[in-house]
Amino acid sequence: MEETLFNKKPLSIGQKVERIRTFRGFKQEYLANKLGVSQQTVSKIEQQEEIEEELLKQIAYALGVTPEVIKNFDEDRITYHINNVYDVHDFEIKDNGNFIAQQVNPIEKIAELYERLLQSEREKLELLKNQNKA
């Protein structure tokens, strides 16, 4: 049966990993490095129908998404998650291998960014003062 817009064949879990990886702009070498495997192994993983749960968690973490995002992949959903929800630094793995979201206080984040901006401006001012003295 030919694949059309209306009767798409469901993607295998490996194909979903590949789509997310390429969507994020990562090469197989990047994922291989994050997983501690060869690029050829990543290629084989992306051809698999199913992926072991523990490996899927590691792959998801490396790609900056959750395993559920990979399992339930669709173009619209992944676009939303990557652009609006998840950042590779927004979650971590607990001892039991489950992902947890880190709580990020937006006010603290704004204050942190403001402090960086102030520090940058101070450094520029100091540089200008030193140039004027010379």
- Give the global pTM: 0.53
What CA–CA distance (Å, rounded) separates 9 from 59? 23
Cβ neighbours, 10 Å, residue 18: 19
CB 20 within 8 A of CB 70: yes
Q: What is the pLDDT of residues 43-53, one digit of tens each?
A: 999 999 999 99
Domain ranges of the chain: 1-103, 104-134
Give the per-residue pLDDT at 14.
95
d(CA 117, CA 101) in angstroms, rounded, equals: 27
Q: Give 63's strand partners.
A: none
Per residue in 1-22, pLDDT tens? Answer: 444 444 567 889 999 999 889 8
Residue 6: how many CA atoms within 13 Å on its side-chain side?
Answer: 0
Mean pLDDT of 70-97: 59
Residue 105: HSE in the Cβ half-sphere, 13 Å Cα cutoff: 4
Reported as a single tens digit per residue, the pLDDT across 25-67 is: 899 999 999 999 999 999 999 999 999 999 999 999 999 888 9
Residues whose CB is less than 8 angstroms from the CB of residue 53 and which lie 6 or more positions away in sequence, other chains included: 67
Domain 1-103 is found in CATH 1.10.260.40:
yes
